[in-house]
Amino acid sequence: MTEVTVRSDRGLSQEIVAAAHRLVSDEPPPAGGDAGPSPRQLLCAALGACTAMTIRLYAARKAWPLEALAVRVRYEAARPGGPGPEARGGDERFDLTIELGGALDDAQRARLLEIAAKCPVHRTLRGQPLVVATLGSA
């Protein structure tokens, strides 16, 4: 189980507590104060970080020469009346660009691209998880 607490005093700046870690999320001006990444940026970061970790673990287990790794995540939402992901068959889309450095052959690169889709966050997003909200006491 994973648990995160988000505290909100006023405005759009939110304090995120994940175990011993504290982060801030906010929206850019004019809506927010830009004190931290937006919730969508954090979602993209979670997908990118999980993808990179999954690739690293697999490459290390296989003793493959993966020296450098970067995962760039781009999120696009459908825009009413305009071009967007809906033209490609979905309402929302995450595009991942994975850069692999090291003396990897073509077969290893292809396998690491397949492995990227097996990261837990990717599987969660693909699976349309159930989200249940309840009221607690403050």
Q: What is the pLDDT of residues 87-107, one digit of tens each?
A: 545 688 999 999 999 999 999
| Rounded Cα distance, 94 and 119, in Å | 14
Residue 72: the pLDDT is 98
Domain map (residue ranges) of the chain: 1-36, 37-126
Q: pTM of this prediction?
A: 0.87
Q: What is the pLDDT of residue 91?
A: 82
Tell me which architecture the domain covering 37-126 has in CATH: 2-Layer Sandwich (3.30)
Note the pLDDT of residue 82.
Answer: 52
Residue 36 · residue 24 · CB < 8 Å: yes
Low-confidence stretches of the chain (pLDDT < 70) are 79-90
Q: Cα(132)–Cα(120) distance, rounded to whole angstroms?
A: 20
Q: Which of 13, 17, 45 shows the shortest CA–CA distance to 26? A: 13
Strand pairing class (68-77; 21-25): unpaired
pLDDT at 14: 96
Cα angle, residue 90 at apex, residues 52 and 73 outer, rounded to 5°: 25
| Residue 66: burial class (beta carbons within 10 Å; 0-12, 13-18, 19+) | buried
Question: What pLDDT is recorded for position 86?
Answer: 46
14 neighbors 6 (Cβ within 8 angstroms): yes
